[in-house]
Chains A and B, each alone.
Chain A
Amino acid sequence: MKRIPLLFGILLVLSGCWDRYELEERANLLGLAIDVATEEDMEKEPSVTHKNGEFPDREEDDYIKLTAQISLPGKIKLGPEGGGGEGSKKNAWVLETVGHTIKDAMANLQQQLAEKLYLGHVQIIVISEEIAEKGVTEINDFLRRNPEVRRTSWMVINGGDAKEVLEAAPPVESVPSLYLSNTLDNAVRQGKLPREYLGKFWIDLADIGIDPMIPSIKVEDKDRILVDGMNYFKGDRMVGKFSPIEIGVYMSVMGENQGGYSYAVKLPEEEGIYMIKATERDSKIMTELKNGEPRASIDITIDSIIEEETKTENLNQNTVRKIEQEAEEKAKKLGDEFVKNLQEDGSDVFGLGARIRAKHKNYWNEEIKTNDKWTETYKEMDIKVTYNINIKRTGMEWK
């Protein structure tokens, strides 16, 4: 009997329910979109983290428009009855607020909601090109600091308006943001996108001698997204964009499997057009110093298959060899141009700087040391890429 109070005490202390927030008391953020807000938008700004007009600020037009897609389980009906062409729009709530920083905007958002904002389910963070060009360090600080944000969610750039991505309502899935992030996850599985999710992006951003990149997307017909290439950065500012086929080149250079992109090849003296698809990529990135100048040579081996043959029908061992050669030439042309563009913009997405730092310690310590110096050297650097394409099989057709 003496122990009963003790047992109650233990029950009280060890139950661990202090942080209990039932699912229906949470506003689950599924997607975030970050745009630049105009003066006009800012007029709606409430005084939550500071008095109006008294933000201890920097530049005038540094305003952020935050759009959040929120799901309220138990309040907005989820589930399969959304079918019948209505789309998934009604399953999630898209809200828009403004603020000076991300946290400021989040505080404004919380002020209008009954439920507690929860970031543990954020699948996708869309930023507009304009924000990315201004630099992403500021917007990432809040996300890095908050323990709820997953490092496996995606950060993407939408060309125009980031907000419109969250308004896209796919008719097939009950939660729109989930469909969008699945599009990206599956693109990775099919070898169409490198694993450049938020956590990886932060690592590349912090590293010296490598520049980060994030996927670029485009909204199609207001109900789905197209993976439109990658946006590459120099430091924390976006400087350019490359197309999906160049993602294929990038992934070949990095030797990332599996292969996913198909490429159209035409033999010079023939009519026929062949679609070949990379299935396995392998690459060796070698860096060396010659006369005190860094050089890189990249040997790429791609195993591929023929997926389609049009306007002709004479596939045999001989033609396959010719196609391989032609494909190698084409790939080289494509690749060289790609690398040249990156060099012109000073964006080292391959991490050649990091490799040189890792391998040629003395050279790095004496000559480079900083990111800026590396960018200069990188622009002038000699990068040689060689391709070796092997066509392994041709599908179910002999000829």
Chain B
Amino acid sequence: MNKPSDKVTNLQLAFIIISTMLGVSMLGLTHFTVRGAGNAAPFASLVGIFIAFIGLMGYVLIGRRFTKDTLVGYNESILGKPIGRLCSFLIVIVFLALTGLETRQFAEAVQGSILPNTPMHISIIAMILLFATTSFQRVDTFASIHFFYVPLILIPIIIVVAPAFRDIEIYHMTPILGNDPTWGGFMNGALAVTQAIGNFVVIAMVIPFMKYPKKSWKGAVGGFWIAGFIVIFMTTMTVAVFGENEIKKMYWPLLNLGRMITIPGEVLSRIDAVLLVSWVYGVFTTLLSYYFLVVRGVCGIFRFHHYRVVSLITAPIIYGIAIFPRDIYTLYDYIRMFSSYGVVPLLVYPFFLLCISIIRKKKGGSV
């Protein structure tokens, strides 16, 4: 299954991480961070990113140990076939659900802000068609798609958000630990960030296809911190401009930030369109990663190599999940549920695997 051309470089791995981490949640993330942590949101983001970083290191370490296996592969060789398959299956379920829910979140944001008359099903189907038709490609194609989109995501965000500097108020950001910090609230805010960016788990599917899987940490760490910096930058800017109370009122603070910005010289008057375009790229690459994990995961569990078939069969399930939540509040409830009970445990999971593999003296390549 490993064709000679199927080789991913470290730079590509970094770009996969960046474009996976920056996704649907970009627009609304600050709302959840602020709701927990108040004006300590930038600091909470930093803490959240550190927590996620630990998880990243876990996947890199286990990837070093099992250089030829994907997540599904080492699950089985470490935990034994039945339990390993069950674990892989649970992970796939989590990502399957998240793909559907985040597609819905994308459609909600589109409908709520730019295309009020387009039926939501159309946005959902269009997005599903896009990632379903690209997700069964080879790993190097998958990496190239990410590689292509990253500049289109990063550059507009920075250009659009930077002019907001003149509208910031220092008093929106201090005290750095928040006015009335509670430990629980702060950690809730931090974990909101961890949940939103913890989706880099997909690298567990990519590392075995790298040229030098042992050196994957270079790309992984680099990509992670670039994306982490962008998350902190966006959170800080939105908090500094809007302040705690205003952010709590909005669904998509970053989008509103884009709506407030006028570029000096008034060349363009509605910058939010640029932001939305780059956000749509971000959404696509993120969902592509999720779905890629689902398709590869299913195929790995059932020893089945027709990715195309799996991808097309699973698409209607995603659609079903996407239209399931009855309104936007339930949607966010589900998302929070799956990301706190799905994504966060996944960050601890590799360490658990590592321990067992050391105890059972399992090493890579022993498939």
Contact = CB atoms under 8 A, between A and B. Distances in A.
Interface of A: 10, 13-14, 16, 18-19, 120, 144, 147, 150-152, 195, 199-200, 202-203, 206-208, 351, 354-355, 357-359, 361, 364-365
Nearest to B173: A358
B242 A203 contact: yes
A13 B169 contact: no
A10 B117 CA distance: 20
Given A18-B118, A18-B122, A147 B179 contact: no
Given A203-B243, A206-B243, 15 more contacts: A13-B125, A14-B126, A16-B115, A18-B117, A18-B118, A18-B122, A19-B117, A147-B116, A150-B269, A151-B256, A195-B167, A199-B256, A207-B172, A359-B171, A361-B179
Contacts of B115: 16, 18-19
B180 A13 contact: no
Contact of A358 (B119, B174, B245): B174
> A208, A355, A358 — which one has the most chain B CB atoms within 10 A of its CB?
A358
Interface of B: 112-119, 122, 125-126, 129, 167, 169-175, 179-180, 241-243, 245-246, 249, 256, 259-260, 262, 269-270
A199 B167 CA distance: 10
> A195, A203, A357, A365 — which one has the most chain B CB atoms within 10 A of its CB?
A203
B259 A151 contact: yes
B322 to A, nearest CB: 15
B119 A18 contact: yes
A14 B260 CA distance: 29
Nearest to B245: A206
A373 B242 CA distance: 23
- The A interface is mostly helix, strand or loop, or mixed, namely helix
A296 B95 CA distance: 54
B69 to A, nearest CB: 36
A228 B63 CA distance: 68
Contacts of A364: 179
Given A152-B260, A207-B246, A147 B114 contact: yes
Nearest to B266: A185
Contacts of B180: 365
A13 B171 contact: no
B270 to A, nearest CB: 7
B154 to A, nearest CB: 24
Contacts of B122: 13, 18
Contacts of A358: 170-175
23 contacts: A10-B129, A13-B126, A14-B126, A18-B117, A18-B118, A18-B122, A19-B118, A120-B270, A152-B259, A152-B269, A199-B256, A199-B260, A206-B245, A206-B246, A207-B243, A207-B245, A351-B169, A357-B171, A358-B170, A358-B172, A359-B171, A359-B175, A361-B175
Given A13-B125, A351-B171, A357-B179, A208 B117 contact: no
Contacts of A16: 115, 118
A195 B245 CA distance: 20
> A120, A144, A152 — which one has the most chain B CB atoms within 10 A of its CB?
A152
Contacts of A208: 245
A203 B270 contact: no
A202 B246 contact: yes
A354 B259 CA distance: 24
> B174, B256, B260 — which one has the most chain A CB atoms within 10 A of its CB?
B260
A150 B268 CA distance: 13
A200 B257 CA distance: 11
A200 B167 contact: yes
Contacts of A120: 270
A21 to B, nearest CB: 9
Given A18-B122, A152-B260, A203 B117 contact: no
Contacts of A19: 114-118
A118 B292 CA distance: 41
A206 B260 contact: no
B106 to A, nearest CB: 14
Given A13-B129, A150-B270, A364-B179, A355 B171 contact: yes
A248 to B, nearest CB: 20
Contact of A150 (B117, B170, B179, B259): B259
A195 B113 CA distance: 25
A357 B117 CA distance: 43
Contacts of A354: 169, 171-172, 243
> B118, B167, B171 — which one has the most chain A CB atoms within 10 A of its CB?
B171
A359 B174 contact: yes
A152 B261 CA distance: 8
A357 B38 CA distance: 13
A200 B245 CA distance: 13
